[in-house]
Amino acid sequence: MIVFRPARPQEIETIRALERVSAQRFIGLMDALAGDEPSSASVLAIRIADGGLIVAVEGGAVVGFVMFRRVEARAYVEQLDVLPAFAGRAIGAALLDEVAERARAAGLDGLSLSTFREVPWNAPYYRRLGFVEVADLTPGMLAIREEHLARGLDEDARVFMVRDV
């Protein structure tokens, strides 16, 4: 049985390792992204302290996580990863529902995220979960786009999406 709970500081390296394993899906598609460093320990520590990191746990092991922060009136999903061995069990969808519940409780409008437009487990996946593309970016989204450009991400291949709660 999968249990969802806030991440703990002692799980930071486990989460970073999970992110590395998950990135391997991009080999042959986006090799630079596959070899990219995971989220820094300092960022993960901040998200844990702010309540913006939820883990999926089965049998005591972390098998997935979602990291988010408030951007304007939405919870912006920064990262969502599930171990490949646990794919197809709707763990990612359930993690997003956990964030949506927290957003609703905080009085936010919903969720937002930025993802690759054509990667099957990115934008097409999120569409199936009720997200819609955003045509006009908000100031917060434009700032995130600048962060992505500074990291070397191809923003022409990406799209912002939102889902109301």
Query: 8: Cβ–Cβ under 8 A, 6 or more apart, which residues?
Result: 48
Give domain 2-164's CATH superfamily: Gcn5-related N-acetyltransferase (GNAT) (3.40.630.30)
pTM: 0.90
Q: What digits encode the pLDDT tens for the residues 31-55?
A: 455 456 778 999 999 999 999 999 9
Closest CA to 88 of 41, 132, 121, 43: 121
155-160 contacts: CB < 8 A, separation 24 or more?
Answer: 157/116, 157/117, 157/118, 158/114, 158/115, 158/116, 158/117, 159/114, 159/115, 159/116, 159/117, 159/123, 159/133, 159/134, 160/112, 160/113, 160/114, 160/133, 160/134
Instruction: Write out pLDDT tens, residues 107-137.
Output: 999 999 998 887 767 888 999 999 999 999 9
Per residue in 47-84, pLDDT (tens digit) is: 999 999 999 999 999 999 999 999 999 999 999 999 99
Tell me how far apart the terminal alpha carbons of the chain are, to the nearest angstrom.
26
> Which residues are paired to 75 by β-bridges?
70, 111
